[in-house]
């Protein structure tokens, strides 16, 4: 079974991206109270937030469900792959990328002329 949302522009915020993912999960029959849904929403939030904050803006966003997995792609204008770092008192954060790598079953970063696309796959069953 493949479930895709209607074609749309890239969401303007991480909250809008999470809303799109919630709608897709609901249509696919995935409980929004499940750990799986929480993991999918966290990965979505991290990738979109990082594209907006560090990638020069969200250039493209695609989600679909195929073969019991959610496929998520986020593109931005920065060609450099994310790096893990440890937060400091004067520069907190740095935990999102390791979380994405831990929660997703597969993560792929592809640089291209206009930036990069990060694709993640998360099993739903």
User: Residue 66 is encoded by which pair of tokens?
Assistant: 């195929």
Q: What is the pLDDT of residue 86?
A: 74
32 pLDDT above the threshold of 90: yes
Q: What is the pLDDT of residue 65?
A: 96
Q: What is the pLDDT of residue 5?
A: 57
Q: List, in sequence order, every beta strand (DSSP E) within the chain.
A: 2-3, 58-66, 69-76, 106-112, 115-123
pLDDT per position as a tens digit, 61-119: 999 999 999 999 999 999 999 987 777 777 777 788 999 999 999 999 999 988 999 99
Q: What is the pTM assigned to this prediction?
A: 0.90
CB of 118 closer than 8 Å to CB of 73: yes
7 pLDDT above the threshold of 90: no
125 pLDDT above the threshold of 60: yes
Sheet arrangement for strand 115-123: 2-3, 58-66, 69-76, 115-123, 106-112
């Amino acid at each position: 079974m493949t479930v895709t949302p209607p074609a749309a522009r890239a969401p303007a915020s991480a909250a809008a991206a999470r809303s799109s993912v919630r709608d897709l999960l609901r249509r696919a029959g995935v409980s929004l109270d499940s750990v799986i849904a929480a993991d999918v929403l966290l990965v979505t939030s991290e990738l979109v937030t990082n594209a907006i904050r560090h990638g020069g803006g969200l250039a493209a966003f695609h989600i679909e469900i195929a073969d019991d997995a959610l496929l998520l792609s986020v593109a931005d204008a920065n060609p450099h792959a994310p790096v893990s770092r440890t937060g400091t008192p004067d520069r907190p954060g740095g935990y999102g990328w390791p979380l994405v790598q831990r929660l997703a079953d597969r993560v792929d970063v592809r640089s291209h002329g206009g930036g990069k696309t990060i694709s993640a796959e998360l099993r739903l069953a």
